[in-house]
């Protein structure tokens, strides 16, 4: 092992059972293309593309070169009242790729920061237009919007909120999650059932009066809570209700942006236009931390009033628009275009769906869900031990099959590369089946 006991002890790992992990650590020391190398030299196939991050594969030579060059040329430049050329170049590329009408981009360093930035922009937008009473924020149950206080508050994951219950930001409500296995189990793509759940927003608008609501934030496809594609008509209905009441619609596209559904954004895929889009992950292929909040012109324009020598939005990060991250982002945008990454992802969606749904009749499987290159196989929990079966699958895939899959409790999740080889998938799903047959 490359890591000493003292080193292992020193690192408090994120979203990981530390004591269990440190008994038998799973440590990656290198990566190339679609494989990791472990500290014992094993080649492991990555069926999660990093953590939804590395769509075009690991250590893509074009990104590596861009980062190496940039770090030697301009390592950092003050981000407030000064900037670097690459941040502007990347902003232009991102808004050009975004749906029509998206005209500005604010840089952050992660999805969590993008979400909190978007919520602050929404509140500032209404205040700037003289509607400072619009302060309520609406999230959804079973949503993940990162771990900062705003995102956690609009999020809907109980363990993430539990110990902070008294400190979540005030004035937040949640609409219901869109999934109900009784109606939706084993659906391929978007379920027919569930558009009516968007009417929860109408109910909250009636309760609070719509004129007090600033924004609604949803993941177009809920990702980390187990791949929940939106019911047919659901996002359209949300948009409609937002329009009726003057509420801003925020799509949290930290996972879905940059090709995961075979389009630049989920907004393109579903043909529904939000007012604000949050991104991270695929913006730089995960190589350097970076996120972006993309807004439509009316949102930016609302801030561009008042004394023109004054800061319009009192918000920003030391590393907003970091030049090395921007270099990674620019190289990533080049690759998406030159390699036709989104077209590759589109072509892979059907074979991916078919492979996933070949598990539908397995006796341990209670649901299979998929859209684009996001997929989940939900296992029946073991009696009295929810999550145990899923966690065992994750660990045994790694140790016995040299394969990375992710589990959220008993939901096995798959986020393959946008430029995957189907042969690798066939092997990977054979591995999953072998283990699923053999575990309790």
Interface positions with ligand PXG (CB under 6 A): 51-52, 110-112, 115, 144-146, 219, 223-224, 252, 254-255, 280, 406, 408
- With a CB cutoff of 8 Å and minimum separation 6, the contacts of 335 are 56, 60, 62, 63, 285, 341
Nearer to ligand PLP, 289 or 408 (CB): 289
CB-closest chain residue to ligand PXG: 111
Question: Residue 431 binds what, of ligand PLP, ligand PXG, none (CB under 5 to 8 Å, by partner type)?
Answer: none
Question: Residue 319 binds what, of ligand PLP, ligand PXG, none (CB under 5 to 8 Å, by partner type)?
Answer: ligand PLP
- With a CB cutoff of 8 Å and minimum separation 6, the contacts of 114 are 108, 146, 252, 254, 278, 279, 280, 291, 292, 293
d(CA 98, CA 104): 10
For the bound state, the minimum distance from the C-beta of residue 107 to ligand PLP, rounded and expressed in Å, comes to: 12
Nearer to ligand PXG, 77 or 388 (CB): 388
Site of tokens 């054979």: 430
Nearer to ligand PXG, 57 or 151 (CB): 151
For the bound state, the minimum distance from the C-beta of residue 6 to ligand PXG, rounded and expressed in Å, comes to: 27
* Binding segment toward ligand PLP, per CB under 6 A, in 99-107, 183-191, 269-277, 312-320: 312-320
Nearer to ligand PXG, 212 or 332 (CB): 332
Nearer to ligand PLP, 78 or 310 (CB): 78
Task: Report the Cα 438 to chain-centroid distance in Å.
Answer: 32
Residue 202, φ and ψ in degrees, nearest 5:
-60, -40
Nearer to ligand PXG, 14 or 130 (CB): 14
Residue 368, φ and ψ in degrees, nearest 5:
-130, 130
- Burial of 388-416, coded b for 16+ CB within 10 Å and e otherwise, reads bbbbbbbbbbbeebbbbbbbbbbbbbbbb
Q: What secondary structure letter does DSSP report for 313?
A: S
- With a CB cutoff of 8 Å and minimum separation 6, the contacts of 238 are 198, 201, 216, 218, 249, 272
Residue from 317, 391, 424, 434 touching ligand PLP (CB under 6 A): that is 317
Touching ligand PLP, residues 380-419 (CB under 6 A): none
Of 50, 58, 43, 40, give the one whose Cα is nearest residue 3. 40
For the bound state, the minimum distance from the C-beta of residue 293 to ligand PLP, rounded and expressed in Å, comes to: 15
For the bound state, the minimum distance from the C-beta of residue 185 to ligand PLP, rounded and expressed in Å, comes to: 43
* Binding segment toward ligand PLP, per CB under 6 A, in 28-36, 183-191, 240-248, 316-324: 316-324
CA torsion through residues 10, 48, 117, 90, sign: positive
Nearer to ligand PLP, 149 or 317 (CB): 317
The C-alpha R_g of the chain, in whole angstroms, comes to 22
Question: Residue 262 binds what, of ligand PXG, ligand PLP, none (CB under 5 to 8 Å, by partner type)?
Answer: none
**Edge-to-edge strand order for the sheet containing 365-371?**
365-371, 374-379, 411-414, 406-408
d(CA 178, CA 199): 11
* Binding segment toward ligand PLP, per CB under 6 A, in 146-154, 298-306, 315-323, 401-409: 315-323
Of 247, 250, 272, give the one whose Cα is nearest residue 111. 250
For the bound state, the minimum distance from the C-beta of residue 133 to ligand PXG, rounded and expressed in Å, comes to: 27
d(CA 436, CA 393): 7
Question: Residue 317 binds what, of ligand PLP, ligand PXG, none (CB under 5 to 8 Å, by partner type)?
Answer: ligand PLP
Task: Report the Cα 207 to chain-centroid distance in Å.
Answer: 31
Question: Residue 318 binds what, of ligand PXG, ligand PLP, none (CB under 5 to 8 Å, by partner type)?
Answer: ligand PLP
Tokens of 91: 């902003």
**How many residues sit in the footprint of ligand PLP (CB under 6 A)?**
3
Residue 374, φ and ψ in degrees, nearest 5:
-125, 125
Question: Residue 355 binds what, of ligand PXG, ligand PLP, none (CB under 5 to 8 Å, by partner type)?
Answer: none
Nearer to ligand PLP, 148 or 187 (CB): 148
Question: Residue 396 binds what, of ligand PXG, ligand PLP, none (CB under 5 to 8 Å, by partner type)?
Answer: none
Question: Residue 144 binds what, of ligand PXG, ligand PLP, none (CB under 5 to 8 Å, by partner type)?
Answer: ligand PXG
Distances (CA, A) of 356 to 49, 96, 274: 17, 34, 30
CA torsion through residues 284, 266, 420, 393, sign: positive
76 in contact with ligand PLP (CB under 6 A): no
319 in contact with ligand PLP (CB under 6 A): yes
For the bound state, the minimum distance from the C-beta of residue 112 to ligand PLP, rounded and expressed in Å, comes to: 11
Residue from 318, 350, 358, 421 touching ligand PLP (CB under 6 A): that is 318
Question: Residue 416 binds what, of ligand PLP, ligand PXG, none (CB under 5 to 8 Å, by partner type)?
Answer: none
Residues in touch with ligand PLP (CB under 6 A): 317-319
């Amino acid at each position: 092992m490359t890591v000493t006991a003292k080193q292992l002890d020193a690192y408090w790992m994120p979203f990981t059972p530390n004591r269990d992990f440190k008994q038998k650590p799973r440590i990656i020391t290198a990566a190339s293309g679609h494989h990791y190398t472990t500290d014992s030299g094993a080649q492991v196939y990555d069926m999660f593309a990093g953590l939804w991050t590395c769509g075009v594969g690991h250590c893509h030579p074009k990104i590596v070169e861009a980062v190496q060059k940039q770090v030697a040329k301009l390592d950092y430049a003050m981000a407030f009242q000064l900037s670097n050329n690459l941040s502007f170049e990347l902003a232009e590329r991102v808004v050009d790729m975004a749906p029509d009408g998206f005209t500005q981009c604010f840089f952050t360093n992660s999805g969590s920061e993008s979400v909190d930035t978007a919520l602050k922009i929404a509140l500032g937008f209404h205040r700037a237009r003289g509607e400072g009473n619009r302060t309520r924020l609406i999230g959804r149950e079973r949503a993940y919007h990162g771990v900062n206080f705003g995102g956690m508050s609009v999020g809907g994951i109980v363990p993430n909120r539990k110990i902070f219950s008294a400190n979540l930001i005030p004035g937040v409500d949640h609409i219901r999650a869109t999934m109900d296995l009784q109606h939706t189990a084993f659906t391929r793509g978007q379920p027919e059932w569930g558009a009516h759940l968007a009417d929860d927003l109408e109910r909250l608008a009636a309760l609070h009066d719509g004129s007090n609501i600033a924004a609604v934030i949803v993941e177009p496809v809920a990702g980390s809570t187990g791949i929940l594609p939106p019911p047919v008509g659901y996002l359209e209905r949300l948009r409609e209700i937002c329009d009726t009441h003057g509420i801003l619609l925020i799509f949290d596209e930290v996972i879905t942006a940059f090709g995961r559904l075979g389009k630049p954004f989920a907004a393109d895929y579903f043909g529904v236009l939000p007012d604000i889009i949050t991104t991270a992950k695929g913006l730089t292929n995960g190589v350097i931390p970076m996120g972006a909040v993309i807004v439509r012109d009316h949102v930016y324009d609302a801030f561009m009033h008042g004394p023109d020598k004054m800061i319009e939005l009192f918000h920003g990060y030391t590393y907003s628009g970091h030049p090395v991250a921007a270099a990674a982002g620019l190289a990533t945008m080049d690759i998406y275009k030159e390699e036709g990454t989104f077209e590759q992802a589109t072509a892979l969606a059907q074979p991916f769906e078919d492979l996933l749904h070949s598990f539908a009749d397995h006796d341990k499987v209670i649901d299979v869900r998929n859209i684009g290159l996001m997929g989940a196989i939900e296992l029946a929990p073991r009696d009295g031990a929810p999550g145990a079966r899923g966690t065992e699958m994750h660990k045994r895939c790694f140790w016995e099959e040299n394969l990375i899959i992710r589990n959220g409790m008993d939901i096995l999740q798959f986020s393959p590369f946008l430029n995957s080889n189907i042969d690798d998938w066939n092997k990977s799903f054979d591995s999953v089946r072998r283990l699923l047959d053999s575990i309790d």
